[in-house]
Amino acid sequence: MADLAAREDGLDPEVFLRLAAHCRGQISAVLGVRHVPGPVVVLKGNRPIEFRYSRRYRAVAYSTDGAVLDDAIGVGCGPRHDWGPMVVRPMTMVVFRQEEVFSPEAHRLRFVAQLRERATVQEGAAR
């Protein structure tokens, strides 16, 4: 899908969102276009992903586990750092650009969200 929505300056959000609307399941993902190093697209769907930002480093970090992210920041920057939480609502696509890293474009992410179903095998069916 990302390839279909790629253009010269990065991912076309409107094209990608139209394609994603037909998908089913669960998602949180980070996307980029190889030949365009600037924009980074993050999908915060119905799977966990958390963000932290630092004005000092002009950076945004993300992880599926906020505790791991906080531990890494604490070890790398020490206790006196300026990293803080960046709130991104579920079912949102954000486009981060280097020149405006703290003001990402936000788009409503729509798709057929489904809970993960566990496959079950009837007794005696698997040998």
Please check whether residues 2 and 41 belong to one and the same domain: yes
pTM above 0.85, yes or no: no
Q: Which residue has the higher pLDDT, 16 or 113?
A: 16
Q: What is the pLDDT of residues 4-59, one digit of tens each?
A: 888 888 888 888 888 888 888 888 888 877 777 778 889 998 889 999 999 999 99
Residue 117 lies in a domain: no
Residue 118 lies in a domain: no
Please check whether residues 2 and 36 belong to one and the same domain: yes
Q: What is the pLDDT of residues 78-95, one digit of tens each?
A: 989 999 999 999 999 999
Please check whether residues 5 and 40 belong to one and the same domain: yes
- The full DSSP string for 69-107 is HHHHHHHHH-SS---EEE---SSEEEEE-GGGTTS-EEE
Residue 25 lies in a domain: yes
Residue 23 lies in a domain: yes
Please check whether residues 95 and 39 belong to one and the same domain: yes
Please check whether residues 59 and 30 belong to one and the same domain: no
Helix (H) and strand (E) counts for the chain?
3, 11
Number of independent structural domains in the chain: 2
Dist. CA 2–CA 96, nearest whole Å:
16
Please check whether residues 83 and 102 belong to one and the same domain: no
Please check whether residues 15 and 77 belong to one and the same domain: no
Residue 7, domain extent: 1-45+90-110
Q: How confident is the model at residue 68 (pLDDT cuts 50, 70, 90)?
A: very high
